[in-house]
Amino acid sequence: MRVTIDQIRKKKARGERFAALTAYDVVTARLVDEAGIPLILVGDSLGMVVLGYDSTIPVTLDDIVHHTRAVVRGSRKALIVADLPFMTYHKSPEQALESAGRCLQEGGAQAVKLEGGRAVAETVARLTASGIPVMGHLGLTPQSIHQLGGFKAQGKDVERARELLGDAHALEEAGAFAIVLECVPAELSRLITERLTIPTVGIGAGPFCDAEIQVVSDTLGWFSDFVPKHAKQFAKLADAAAGALAEYVNDVEAGRFPTEKESVPLSEDVLRALEEGGGGR
Ligand code: KIV
C-alpha cells in the first residue's frame, strides 16, 4: 500500500517533518523508496537534469508519463506525484483534466503538481473534485522564468510576499493537499507554513517548512553542471562515476578486463574437437 495524501496531510497535524525527492527512473526510484521517503516527484526538472535542456519549458506530457511509469515500476511505498509540464494545464480546466488523467491512467501516478496560485485555483478545484489530488507550487515557478526574468528568488518585497500568501490560501481553499514553496525567503515560508493547514514543502525556502524537497541529481552530486545555492551534495556520484569510467577504459586498453572470471568457459572436449576436427568453413 502506498502512502496516501491523507497520511501526508496528517504529518503536518502531528508536527512530523518529512523529506521528499524527485526521481525519473527505476533505479533511482527504488533507492529513494527504500530510503523511506514518502513522496516522490517526477519533476519536469527532468528536462534539465536528464534531457539536457536549459529550462523545463520543452518538457512534454509524453516525457512525464514515460518517466512516471518507470518511477512507479521502481517504487512500492511512496506517493508518486507527476509534474504537469508547461502548457498542459494553462488553457482550461478541461485541458488540465485530460493531462492529469493521463498521468494517473497511463503513468500510474497518484497525484499531480502544477505551478501557480490564484490563476490556477479553478483548475485545482476541478481536478480535486474529479478525484485527482493536486500539489501546488509557488515562488520561483520555473515554467514562468521568462515572466519572472530568470531563476530568481520570489517574495522579497511586501507586495509580492502578500501576493504569495494570498496564492497559498487560494490553493488550500481550492483543495491542494500540499504546496511546494521554491526560492522564497525563510521568514515568508514560515508565515505561509503557520497560516496553512496543509503541508508546505520547501526548496530554497529555509528551515521552517513542513517538509523539504530536492532534485535527486543535486542531492547525490550526479548533475554537476551547476549546484543550486539551496542544494547540498550528500554524495559525489558524478566524481565517483568519472573515476570508475577512467579505470574501465584503462583496464580494457591494458588487457586487464575482461579476464577469465568475466568470460564464458568452453569445455575441454568441445575445444579439442574443434581444434582437431576443424569444421566450420
Ligand atoms: O520539477 C521539479 O523537480 C520541481 C521541484 C524543484 C519541486 O518542481
User: What letter represents residue 106's amino acid?
Assistant: E
154-206 pLDDT tens trace: 999 999 999 999 999 999 999 999 999 999 999 999 999 999 999 999 999 99
CA distance 134 to 127: 7
CA distance 211 to 87: 28
* CB distance 203 to ligand 1 below 6 Å: yes
**In a 3-state reduction of DSSP, which class is residue 257?**
coil
Query: Mean pLDDT for the chain?
Result: 96
CA distance 175 to 135: 9
| CA 215–ligand 1 middle distance (angstroms) | 7
Atom of ligand 1 nearest to the CA of 180: 7
pTM confidence score: 0.96
91-121 pLDDT tens trace: 999 999 999 999 999 999 999 999 999 999 9
CA distance 203 to 207: 9
Residue bearing the CA closest to ligand 1, atom 8: 43
Closest CA to 116 of 150, 87, 158, 95: 87
pLDDT band at 63 (very low <50, low <70, confident <90, very high): very high
Atom of ligand 1 nearest to the CA of 215: 3
Reading phi first (left if > 0) and then psi (alpha if -120 to 50, else beta), residue 23 is in beta
Q: Which of 115, 172, 182, 212 is catalytic?
A: 182
Tell me, what's the pLDDT at 277? 80
Q: Tell me if residue 182 is catalytic.
A: yes
Residue 264 DSSP symbol? -
Q: What is the largest CA-CA distance in the chain?
A: 90
| CA 244–ligand 1 middle distance (angstroms) | 29
Residues 129-137, mean pLDDT to the nearest whole number: 98
* CB distance 47 to ligand 1 below 6 Å: no
* pLDDT at residue 1 is higher than 70: yes
* CB distance 83 to ligand 1 below 6 Å: yes
Closest CA to 50 of 244, 185, 222: 222
Q: How far is CA 29 from the centre of its chain?
A: 10
Residue bearing the CA closest to ligand 1, atom 5: 43
Q: Domains (ranges, CATH) in the chain? A: 5-235 (3.20.20.60), 240-277 (no CATH)
